[in-house]
Copies of this chain bind each other. A is one copy, B any other.
Amino acid sequence: MFTEKIERWGLFEWCGKGKTEGNPFKDYEIQAHFKSDNEDKTVCGFYDGQGIYKVHFMPEFEGIYEFSIQGSFTDEIVSGSFEVTAPTGNNHGPVLVCDKFHFRYADNTPYYSIGTTCYVWELQCDELIEKTFKSLETSGFNKIRFCIFPKHYDFNLREPRSYPYEGKPVDNSNITSENFLEYTGKTKGNKWDFYRFNPEHFEHIEKCIARLADLGIEADIIVFHPYDRWGFSQMSRDEDIFYMQYLINRLSAYRNIWWSMANEYDVFEHKNSADWDFIGNYFKANDPYDHLRSIHNCIDFYDHKKDWITHCSIQRQDLYKTAEYTDKWREKYQKPVVLDEIAYEGNIQHGWGNITGEEMVRRFWEGALRGGYPGHGETYYNKDDILWWSHGGELHGESYKRFRFLHQIMCETPGLGLKRDASDRRNWDCVMSVPEDDELYKKTGYQIYYFGFMRPSFREFCFEEGIEYKAEIIDTWNMTITDAGVHSGKFRINLPGTQFMAIRLRKNDIK
């Protein structure tokens, strides 16, 4: 008997013909049961249009799986089997929370998030999407945040390549950068059937997610967002559920999925906290793979202590201090702190979108060394109005070139994850970062001192005599690591007196 082979945490897809009468999205259900020595899971399939029904499944163990699939439109039961093989390439499985403040892949590889935001990159034309993939390949990002629904906002006034639903939008061809705010939330005149999806829209997004997975990039899906003139932010509870279940059925089997319930939840006029709790809990209850879940603010933070939230997704609240608050938020929420917006490198007119590359990289280091996970974005003004922040395309800035280096440093952490050690008052003027695991810190003596925009010409250290420390000077902007010798007891490390420097120490006898 022929047995299909797929990788552990790969996508198993079953495809079959079924009824087209009535509304197949709504009128029929399809369920699939998967069983192996280690797993026993039932998932829902979905209607893909044109009489095609599909089932998506992600096996979490190696070995032989047997399955049986049954649709409510037939008595026939389809069964079969497949073999799950070891993962290859960038496949380390889905990302999980680990040690309270950090992430790892399912195969235990540490996951150090270097995120970016491109809200509707996947709803642009093919040419632009290809440019985005190329940019992602050459940059160090391993997470990208984006929306399922199209976006209506400054620089985002065109109609998307496709809509999520059958129907058509009201004619809004007279929207301009000057008047777009008047159209925000004015959804009347749109004609959508919120119970008939446009499979083409979702199939396209799926393909993008699959390609991201191949690149080792997490897809942080923004389920709802308020920059809307079509009505997708104002659906009823029942319509929301119908949508969320479709997302789960189609997308959750992709290992790189994260669920962000909302971008700027507090800007929604038609949803309140109870709605968001319902939505978050819906994913918690119904996603068979328990993917990471978060909710993102405009001004006021959501209560990230809520049980359904796996990690904080934070937009900074202050113009000047952003990632510097990571310690406070870790302390408060006792969860990983992902800083999904710390402002954008760029030069547009909006105050959230015009910091320098230097400041962006500084915020990354400030956050990362405190055991947080800052996110990038880019908004350089250009005559084609193609901004990475929303459209993807090419990167024009300076910060993105420097994240792979930071990621390398993060990966060199003994164990999993860094944290700030503020216990020694002498380090009031820098971030002293040590491994999250105190035992590993004690064993390795691994410590990084980051000086941000400050420029000390040297730094003095005082350790127990007899224990040798290997010292390195890290230039976080120019991405160099310079050997600064082996020292013990009281010693001094000279620095160039420039910004964005760090000193890394670790015990010399430790690999």
Interface residues of A (CB under 8 A from B): 318-321, 324, 346-352, 354-356, 359, 381, 428-430, 451, 453-460, 497, 499
Contacts and interface: CB of A to CB of B under 8 A. Distances in A.
- Give the top 5 A-B pairs by smallest Cβ distance, nearest first: A351-B429, A347-B497, A354-B455, A381-B457, A347-B455
Contacts of A455: 346-347, 354-356
B321 A429 contact: no
Main secondary structure of the interface of A (DSSP, over half): loop
Contacts of A324: 319-320
A347 B498 CA distance: 8
Contact of A454 (B318, B355, B429, B454): B355
Instruction: Tell which of A428, A454, A457 has the most Cβ of chain B within 10 Å.
Output: A454
A62 to B, nearest CB: 49
Contact of A457 (B321, B349, B351, B453): B349
Contacts of A347: 455-457, 497
Contact of A458 (B349, B356, B458): B349
Given A355-B453, A453-B356, A349 B459 contact: yes
B348 A457 contact: yes
Contacts of A356: 453, 455, 499
Nearest to A456: B349
A455 B349 CA distance: 8
Contacts of A355: 453-455
Nearest to A352: B429
Contacts of A460: 349
A16 B120 CA distance: 87
A350 B453 contact: no
A457 B356 CA distance: 13
Contacts of A428: 319, 351
A456 B354 contact: yes
A320 B319 CA distance: 11
Nearest to A318: B321
